[in-house]
A and B are shown apart, each in its own frame.
Chain A
Amino acid sequence: MAELAEQSVTDFFTYPPIGGDDWRYTFATAYVRALETQLLSRATLLDMANAENFERAADLLSAGEYALPQANRSVAELENFLRNKRSAVRKMFSSLMVDEPIVTLFRTRDDFANMRLAIRRTVTERPLGTDYSDDGNVSAELFEEVFEQENYSLFPDYMAEAVERAVLAYYQNKDIRRIDYAIDSVQAEYNIREAHRLENIFLLGFFRIQIDLTNIRTMFRLKFTESDRRDVFLQGGFVEPDRLKHGLDLDYDAVGQLFFATPYHRLVETGAAYLLSDKSFLRTEQQCEDFLIGFLKTTNQITAGPQPVIAYLLMKENEIRTVRLLLTAKRNSLDTKLILDRLGE
């Protein structure tokens, strides 16, 4: 496990190892294998992208679980429908997982998102409100109570640490973005730490890839906005931050070469070319998503274990996002080329 934590990006070909079988998950794995067959096929997604209008695109989903009511198909209703779908998937994930700490770990994503909102509101003296996500480990009501009383000891340790670092970072130069950078950093560290504690090779690989992909996207975004920030890269990925910092000084054409020895070479090269020609991050984000999905799909080789269940959760969340993208794009008559660019070839 310790060796894996120190593993460099050149130590594997495309994806890092995902660990072995865990026979406690026999039922759960069989269950998600059956559900995986019901995931929307690429052909359906392409048909939706090429549909004439929103109604036609929505009709393509009418036979499956995404069937929308005919009467009310407003944006708010659609958003609510997809949010409920996501909550249902997460609930199912919680019920299938034998290891409760893994469920807690995935719920922290919503805790950190809620915290970003709460700290921003607190430092800018806005009303705290209760409009927080309910899918986290900490309830929306507790959020309001803790921030009103400023009693952060009521939070779990990782959240108390995040609050402390975020508030300190903000008051260094009263830059609101520092809150996000601090929370992102605590979240990445916490994920890696928990993966170590759980001795889960798959989660470790997943979080390290996620950090790499976030860092690559950040590098492109910093280049695009011509920002001189160098301290926003997350620690703990396979790619060393110096390589990313060096990438900021290179032209878009040369960035790909910098990642030649890494599995991200194609992703970076394609993303840079598209960013240069279309001034958009759609292809970069699509490539990052495909890379991550590719990693999740390697869990096919696992007969029984938490890996396929986690992979299913993440793939399903990705599918919900894709459906939201397609329906929003169709609702607003966005160019089909843009949608196809985001979906990939």
Chain B
Amino acid sequence: MLANVNATRMELLQLRRRVTLASRGHRLLSEKRDEISRQLIKIARDIQPLRKKVEKELLETFRRFMLARALMEPEDVKAALEVPTKKFTLAVEFASVMNVKVPHLLKEMAGEIICYGFTATSGELDVALLALERAFDDLIGLAEKEKQARLLATELNMTRRRVNVLEHVVIPELQGTIRFIYDKLAEAERDNTTRLMKIADIIRA
């Protein structure tokens, strides 16, 4: 029950309006929670295979790179990879999913990833770099989806807490206060009736 409440009919009417508003908010937030859950499950389903694919691709890239590094002389590795020719830019756009601003990553790549001559380098380095280039699209897709999932999960958590607060605290409290005011008003009504009856008895006597 709310503290410091005036047990008046005006207050009762206001509280009834607040209960109606809270119930509507509860319903809307429940729907939002369900929709976010649905979106989150959808993204999570996409993430799982994508993550496996990216991990596999990166593992393969890493293996090839380790082989290339082992096959080449250290100074040749340094000379080959010191100045990269591939230029990479990443732009972030935001889209709204259930009022949550989720990022959409846009990449732009220019130039060739193979930035060295052929004499002092191993072919495995080509394989590794091309595999890394291929993995980049998936890697960015994965980063985007994971960020979306994290933001949606945070929003879901917040919405769930709001729904719970409305359901278990705000609405029961308001209803308790309404019941209290109603009882108080009924008590006052009974008091008045009793007082009037007593006065009528006195006059009649």
Contact = CB atoms under 8 A, between A and B. Distances in A.
Interface string B77-111: 01110110100000000000000000000000000
A332 B119 contact: no
A281 B126 contact: yes
Contacts of B75: 110, 113-114, 117, 132-133
Interface string A103-125: 00000001001101100110010
B172 interface: no
B82 A217 contact: no
Contact of B130 (A110, A126, A225): A225
A29 interface: no
For chain B, what secondary structure do more than half of its interface residues adopt (helix, strand, loop), or is it mixed?
helix
User: Which one of B75, B112, B119 has the highest number of Cβ atoms from chain A below 10 Å of its Cβ?
Assistant: B119
Given A280-B124, A280-B127, A285 B115 contact: no
A83 interface: yes
B131 to A, nearest CB: 9
Contacts of A175: 85
A132 B79 CA distance: 10
Interface in B13-65: 62-64
B76 interface: yes
The interface size bin for chain B is 20 to 34
Interface residues of A, number: 49
Interface stretch (A37-45, A260-268, A323-331): A323-331
Given A114-B75, A124-B83, A338-B63, A232 B123 contact: no
B79 A342 contact: no
Given A117-B75, A117-B78, A120-B79, A284 B116 contact: no
A285 B117 contact: no
A12 to B, nearest CB: 24
A286 to B, nearest CB: 10
A284 B123 contact: yes
B69 interface: yes
B126 to A, nearest CB: 6
B119 A234 contact: yes
A131 interface: yes
B66 A180 contact: no
Given A131-B78, A221-B118, A221-B123, A342 B67 contact: yes
B199 interface: no
B42 to A, nearest CB: 34
B83 A279 contact: no
B122 A285 contact: yes
A335 interface: yes
A281 B85 CA distance: 23
A176 interface: yes
A332 B80 CA distance: 22
B82 A338 contact: no
Interface of B: 62-64, 66-67, 69-71, 73-76, 78-80, 82-83, 85, 112, 114-120, 122-124, 126-127, 130
